[in-house]
């Protein structure tokens, strides 16, 4: 799954550590999501959308395995 988490996190002035603390997850979790190595749970995706006041679809884009855009 592709995401724009780095872009939105920086736009809203959050460090990885501060965003992680706000969401109750580790900084490593934020790093892994940003690098596309970890897909967040639906609950965490909703929390991220709430932090940035946007929809999940604005942050995350589903991508079929093997599909490149």
What are the mean pLDDT values of the chain's consecutive 10-residue runs (69 residues total)?
Answer: 95 98 98 96 97 97 71
User: What is the DSSP track for 2-66?
Assistant: EE-HHHHHHHTT--HHHHHHHHTS-HHHHHHHHTTS-PPPHHHHHHHHHHHTS-HHHHEE---TT
State the distance between the two ends of the chain, measured CA to CA, in whole angstroms.
Answer: 11
| Structural domains for the chain | 2-56 (1.10.260.40)
**Which 8-state DSSP code applies to residue 67?**
-
pLDDT at site 50 = 98
Q: What is the pLDDT of residue 69?
A: 52
**pLDDT for 1:** 86
């Amino acid at each position: 799954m592709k995401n724009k988490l780095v872009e939105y996190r920086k736009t809203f002035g959050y460090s990885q550590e501060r965003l992680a603390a706000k969401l109750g997850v580790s900084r490593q979790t934020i790093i892994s999501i940003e690098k596309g190595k970890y897909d967040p749970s639906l609950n965490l995706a909703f929390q991220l959308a709430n932090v940035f006041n946007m929809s999940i679809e604005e942050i995350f884009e589903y991508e079929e395995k093997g599909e490149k855009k």
